[in-house]
Amino acid sequence: MADCVVIRIMLIVAWLWQIVRGSENYDERDSLDSYFYGNAFEEIHNPRTGRLYDVSLPANLSGVQVSFVRLRARNLWRSGANHSLFTIPPLALPFPFAKRVDLVYQNLGNWSSNYYSVPGYKFVAPVIGFLAYDSNKSSINYGLIELKLMGDDPIIVHFPDIFVEENGMKCVRFDTNGTLELSNVETKNSCLVRRQGHFSVVVPYYQEKKDKVVIIIKWWMIVGIACGGVVGLIILIVVIFVAYKWIKRKRIKNMERQTERNEGLDTIWIGRSRMPSAACVRTQPVLENSYLP
């Protein structure tokens, strides 16, 4: 009974910690978004409509990329927008309505996991995002607004740096209110969404372990094939050597056996020819009687 109470207390503490931590991350992300727009607002004075500007950042945010563009609402409705890694279709309107809209594009790069996380998943692409602001608001009171898609075409988010294709890949969208949504990857290296926010591609942790197991198995297969080939080659060399020795020994025995069957003959010269000659000893005649009559 006591163990159950302890486990429940630990679960409640972990749950509260996740809530507090999530709230802290949300505040940090909100402050970061405001900082990016404020930096762009102060750095770029009287920006030209439709022109994309790169926003400079301090050295402590090395690896993060931010860009800024100001658009007219009627142009956004008529032609949409195609900047950075996002394609916004036509028939998009700011809400609440604003005559001019400031779009801030972000690529957090290697800072992605510092501000965003998905329980049970890992990032395979950096977190990128875009937010819309009312350009008529002052820099003190940034006016974050939404983009409403009135047509059927979605916003396309491109991830050109994804070089892996895994079955468990998911698109993730982080909303400005701190919530997240998961969806399937519809097209290669792209996600289809209908709202602004921050986006990335994730895979479950078990997929990573599975990939490691597959790599280890393939590595051992290669090693096994290589070792098997070396052992097979050694066995083949040994077999050839033994067969050569056996054939040589058998040939020598046959020659010895053939030599034993034949008799050696001397040779003599007759004129200019050399002829074989057999040495013979004539039997001396013996008289039948030892004396004559």
Q: Which uninterrupted H or E stretch holds 45?
A: none
Asked if 159 contacts 172 with a C-beta cutoff of 8 angstroms, the reply is no
Quick one: pLDDT band at residue 19, thresholds 50, 70, 90? very low
Whether 13 has a pLDDT exceeding 90, the answer reads no
**pLDDT one-digit tens code per residue, 77-110:** 999 999 889 999 999 999 999 999 999 999 999 9
Q: State the CB neighbour count (10 A cutoff) for residue 89.
A: 18
Asked if 267 contacts 277 with a C-beta cutoff of 8 angstroms, the reply is yes
For residue 111, CA distances in Å to 29, 56, 155 come to 11, 16, 24
Asked if 107 contacts 65 with a C-beta cutoff of 8 angstroms, the reply is yes
**pLDDT one-digit tens code per residue, 26-54:** 567 778 898 999 888 888 888 999 999 99
Q: Outline where DSSP puts E strands in 150-234.
A: 155-158, 170-174, 180-184, 190-193, 197-204
- The verdict on whether omega for the bond into residue 285 sits within 30 degrees of 0, i.e. cis, is no
pLDDT of residue 15: 39
Quick one: pLDDT band at residue 247, thresholds 50, 70, 90? confident
Cα–Cα distance for residue pair 50/83, rounded to 1 Å: 10
Q: State the CB neighbour count (10 A cutoff) for residue 189.
A: 16
The one-letter code for the residue type at 100 is R
Q: What is the mean pLDDT of the chain?
A: 79
Cα–Cα distance for residue pair 258/33, rounded to 1 Å: 103
Quick one: pLDDT band at residue 232, thresholds 50, 70, 90? confident
Asked if 181 contacts 172 with a C-beta cutoff of 8 angstroms, the reply is yes
Q: Name which residue leads in pLDDT, 215 or 249.
A: 249
Among candidates 101, 96, 264, which has minimal Cα distance to 88? 101
CA 242 to chain centre: 49
Domain ranges, ordered by start, for the chain: 28-203
**pLDDT one-digit tens code per residue, 114-161:** 999 998 899 999 999 999 999 886 544 568 899 999 999 999 999 987
Quick one: pLDDT band at residue 273, thresholds 50, 70, 90? low
Q: What angle do CA 123, 124, 129 make, to 5 degrees?
A: 70
Dihedral pair phi/psi, residue 89, rounded to 5°: -75, 165
pLDDT of residue 239: 85
Cα–Cα distance for residue pair 173/126, rounded to 1 Å: 12
The lowest-confidence range among 10-14, 42-46, 175-179, 233-237 is: 10-14
Check whether domain 28-203 has CATH 3.40.50, yes or no? no
